[in-house]
Amino acid sequence: MGVAFQRSFLIFLVLSVLLQSWSVYADDTNHLLLVQALYRHGDRSPVSTFPNDPVSESVWPQGLGQLTQKGMQQHYKLGQYLRQRYIEGQPYKFLSEAYKKNEIMINSTDYDRTLMSAYSNLAGFYPPKGDQIWKTELKWQPIPVHTKPLDMDHVLYMDNYCPTYMKHYAEALNSDVVKKHEAENAEFYSFLEEKSGFPKVSIENTWMIYDTLFCESQHNHALPDWAAQQWKNSSLTVMQKMAANDGLQFDIKYDHPVQRRLKGGSLLKAVIDNMQMKVTSTLTPATMKAFIYSAHDSTVSAFLSAMQVFNKRLPPYTACVLVELHAVNDIPHVKVLYGNSTAGEPYVLSIPGCAELCPLPKFIELTKESIPDDWVEECGLGSGFPKLSKMHIIIIASISAVVLVTIIATIVGVIYRRKLNSNFTPYFGLNTNT
C-alpha cells in the first residue's frame, strides 16, 4: 500500500511539473511584445474611367478615388476585429481598453481614402470609454493619424520617384516572360482596346479598366455584357482574366530582388527596426505597443513581396497584414498573418526558410536582401533628396526665378534712369545780379 502510494505521489509530482512547464510555455508563446498592422483602404470610387465607360463620373458624390460609406463600414468592422484580437482577449489582452497615445501610433499615406479609412478603423478599434466620452450620444473620439507629403514618403507610397527601380521595372516589362505573356494575350488586349476605347492596352494598364468596372459593380452598376462574358475557351470571365492580370502586374512590379528592396523594403525595414528597438528597450516611448499603417493594395503587395510571401493575387479592400512580435521562452519570435477578408481569421504566413513562429534574428537574416541600406542612394537620387523633396525644389526654383527677375528689372530700371539723367538739361534761374 505504501509503495502504491509512493508511485501515485511520484506520478502526481511528475504530471504537476509537466503541466506547470507546459503552462509557462503557453504563456510565453502568447506573450505579445509588439503588434504592427498594414492594411489597404476600404471600398472607394474608381480612380479613373475609360473612354467607353457607360457610367458617368458624376454618379460618385465625392468624385473619383474617394472612400465610400461602404468603405467606412468595412474599416469600422476591421477596427472591431483588431479590438477583439488585441484588447478583448480573443486571443490577447494586450492593449489598454481605452486609447492611450503612448501605446499606439497610426500612419497613413496622404490620400483622402487612406486617412478616412484609418479614422473609420479607429472608430471601431477605440470607441470612447469612461472619461474619454465627450458627447454622450456620439460613440466616437478623435485620434491622431500621422502622414507626410507623398513625394517625401517612400515607406508607404509605392509610386515615389526612384530611377533605379524604374530601370529594373522597365527591364522586367521587356523580359522574355512578359513578352511571352503579351504575345499569348494579344487577342485579349485587342478585345479590351475595342470595348474600352483605350488606344493601347497591356499588362501595365489593364487594371484601369478592371478597377473601374469592379468599383461600379460594387455599387449596383451592371457590368457591360462584354466584361461579364466568358473569355473564349477559358474558364474565366473577362473580368476574372483582368483580375488575374492585376495580380501578375503587381508580381512584376514588386516581387523581384531589386523591386523588393526599393519598394516594400523600406516598410519592412521600419517594421524590423521597431521590433529591434522593442527588444532592446530603446523604443520611444518605451510603452509603445502597436504601429498601424493605412495604405494601398500596392503597399500590401510590395510588403508581402519583400518577405517573399505574396500570393500574386490583388489584395482586396481592408486586406490586412499583421506582424506580431512574441516572446517564446524569453526569445523574440515573429509571426506574420494575412487577412484578405473581414470574415474569418487571418492566415498565418511562413517566411521561406522559417517556421510560422520565426526567431527574430533568423527573420532579419532571411529578409536582409530586401532591406535597403540607403534608399535614396540606391535609387540614384543623391544625398540631398531627403532634405529637398520634389515639391520643395519646385518652390525654391520658383522663388529663385522671381528673385532673379526682380534683380534684372531693378538693374534695367537703374540703367534707364541713369540714361534719362544723362540727357536731362537742368533749369537755371535768371541771374538777377546783373
22-159+254-379: which CATH architecture?
3-Layer(aba) Sandwich (3.40)
Peptide bond into 332 cis (omega under 30): no
pTM for this entry: 0.82
- In sequence order, what are the residues at sequence separation of 6 or more whose Cβ sits closer than 8 angstroms to the Cβ of residue 129? 97, 98
Is 246 a residue of the active site?
A: no
Active-site residue, selected from the candidate residues 43, 151, 246, 297: 297
Q: What average pLDDT score do residues 298-316 get? A: 96
**Of 301, 180, 291, which Cα lies nearest the Cα of 247?**
301
Q: How confident is the model at residue 341 (pLDDT cuts 50, 70, 90)?
A: confident
Is 297 a residue of the active site?
A: yes
Q: How confident is the model at residue 404 (pLDDT cuts 50, 70, 90)?
A: confident
* Side chain identity, residue 231: W
Is the pLDDT at 423 greater than 90, yes or no? no
| Tens digits of residue pLDDT in 379-401 | 999 855 544 444 554 555 666 66
Instruction: Quote the mean pLDDT of the chain.
Output: 88
| Tens digits of residue pLDDT in 80-99 | 999 999 999 999 999 999 99
| Tens digits of residue pLDDT in 250-280 | 999 998 999 999 999 999 999 999 999 999 9
Q: What are the boundaries of each domain within the chain?
A: 22-159+254-379, 163-252, 385-412
Cα 245–Cα 251–Cα 256 angle in degrees, nearest 5: 155
Q: Which three cell numbers stand for residue 209?
A: 479598366
Is the pLDDT at 14 greater than 50, yes or no? no
Q: How confident is the model at residue 413 (pLDDT cuts 50, 70, 90)?
A: low
pLDDT value of position 263: 98
Active-site residue, selected from the candidate residues 41, 154, 326, 333: 41
Q: What average pLDDT score do residues 33-51 get? A: 97
Secondary structure (DSSP) of 130-163: GGG--STT--------B---GGG--SS-TTS--H
